[in-house]
Chains A and B, each alone.
Chain A
Amino acid sequence: MSLFQIRSNHSSLARCAPITEKPGTDRAMRVAIQRARRGKKAAPFAQQQAFDGAVAKLVRAIPVDAQVAEWFANENLIPLVKRRWKKILLNPAVLAIALAVAVIGGVFAYRVHEHLRDFPGADKARRLLSVATSTRSVLLDPLQTDAGALSDLFFMKHRLEHYDIPPEFADFRTLGSRVFDDDEVHGVAQIWVVEKRMQFFLFPAEKDPKDGSVTDFSDWRFVELEGWTGAVQQRNGVCFMAAIRGREKDLAPYLEKRKQ
């Protein structure tokens, strides 16, 4: 656009300059008004503004008929509220916020749900599941016997009392075992069995921080970590965990055996 055209546009815009200042005035119009006020045509522009102001004042003086005024009294004549709500809801910013809130809510609900299923010692159990995922069979002392027979070994050799294998798993043949101290869990017994390469863990139960008491539970409770699932039971202050690579349903047949 040439300089002449720009000047011509400004002059053209100034001829329809708003009578009173309005908040939504375009930048081009603002520039045109500034130029008209400061340029050679400042006097005619001032006359134009005075002329327009006088006409607008006369327009505002147009009386509104009493019969027409009745129409103004009814605020609900044109209810646009419904459309406004729709518009607000479809606003991309509102949609993005709603989506973010939904995601945060979902994560929060999942965490709450996970905590509801938690039990004393669940954190220790998860930690030992991570041990199960990384254990190689060479780390364990080779030992081929029934898992149930290891209780006496743990007591006689390591002074670990009540490290009993539950009857559901007592008949399983072992490949190896070891006793170790973890950074957070001390006196952990780990057994590797032939059956589906399952691993058993026996470790001290979580004590109540207030009174040091331990609450046993005889039902099976579950923890999950990185594709592994552990079924945990607690008796005589000792937790037993059967860990398997898979889901809860993969452990279910072994746990139901006892009930039958």
Chain B
Amino acid sequence: MSVTTQNLPQLYRFCFLMTGDASKAQEAFQDTVREAALRSARDEPPPDRLWFFRDARWRCIAVSEQGLQAEPGMLEETEISPAAPMQIEQLDPDQLAVWISAAPEPQRSALALFYLDEFSLREMLAVLEMKAGELSDLISSGRRQFQAWLDATTPYAEE
């Protein structure tokens, strides 16, 4: 499968979700695309679009390790609320990216890749190198943690 300009915005968004910072996302994105161009010049082009996301993932992890780190700890979890879509509507994309980028690995990568809504389950498992059950648990707990965070920061009051 070829990587066209249609896939590249999604790659950037992935980097942004992974880092929560536009400049770091830009750095990881550009390094990945540059590496792909170099490989193509050497007549060893990336085999598929998954390569881009796999490469960008490790670059994002490396970039995120520089600077301030989120403190590890148990996050509160809440069942998904019927009002969640309305709560999410009130958010900025930056807030979502900051929340996802603060999640521990590999949950951060799992959530970023899942919410891109770009890949099939099989492709996500290939990029993340994990089993379906693990991914399911990470996504599921991520949802409940995000709901708890939403309830704390963006409460929704029915009119």
- Interface set of A (CB-CB < 8 Å, partner B): 9, 12-13, 15-16, 18-20, 22, 24-26, 29, 44, 47-48, 50-65, 67-69, 71-73, 75, 77-84
Contact = CB atoms under 8 A, between A and B. Distances in A.
B93 A59 contact: yes
Interface in B62-114: 80-82, 84-85, 88-89, 91, 93, 96-97, 114
15 contacts: A13-B132, A19-B114, A22-B120, A52-B115, A54-B84, A54-B89, A55-B115, A56-B115, A58-B91, A58-B93, A59-B93, A64-B9, A78-B40, A79-B40, A83-B47
Contacts of B26: 65, 67-68
B110 to A, nearest CB: 9
Q: Is the interface of A mostly helix, strand, loop or mixed?
A: helix
Nearest to A29: B121
B61 interface: no
Contact of B12 (A13, A19, A54, A64): A64
Given A63-B93, A78-B46, A80-B45, A50 B8 contact: no
Q: How large is the interface on B (under 10, 10 to 19, 20 to 34, 35 or more residues)?
A: 35 or more
Contacts of A22: 120
B136 to A, nearest CB: 4
Contacts of B132: 12-13, 16
**Nearest 3 pairs between A and B by C-beta?**
A54-B85, A54-B88, A72-B5
Contacts of B56: none
Contacts of A60: 13, 117
Interface string B23-42: 00010011001001100100
Contact of A58 (B96, B124, B135): B96
Contacts of A73: 5
B88 A55 contact: yes
Given A13-B136, A18-B117, A77 B37 contact: yes
A248 to B, nearest CB: 50
A211 to B, nearest CB: 65
A77 B36 contact: yes
A69 B46 CA distance: 21
Contacts, number: 135
A242 B10 CA distance: 81
A68 B93 contact: no
Given A18-B120, A26-B121, A58 B88 contact: yes
For A52, A54, A68, which residue has the most chain B Cβ atoms within 10 angstroms?
A: A68
B153 interface: no
A16 B96 contact: no
B93 A62 contact: yes
B121 A16 contact: yes
B38 to A, nearest CB: 10
Given A15-B136, A80-B45, A55 B120 contact: no
Given A18-B121, A60-B117, A68-B12, 9 more contacts: A12-B136, A16-B140, A44-B80, A51-B143, A56-B117, A57-B88, A75-B4, A75-B5, A83-B45
Contacts of A82: 43, 45
Interface string B1-28: 0111100110011001100001000100
A64 B10 CA distance: 9
B12 A51 contact: no
Nearest to B96: A58
Given A26-B121, A82-B45, A55 B96 contact: yes
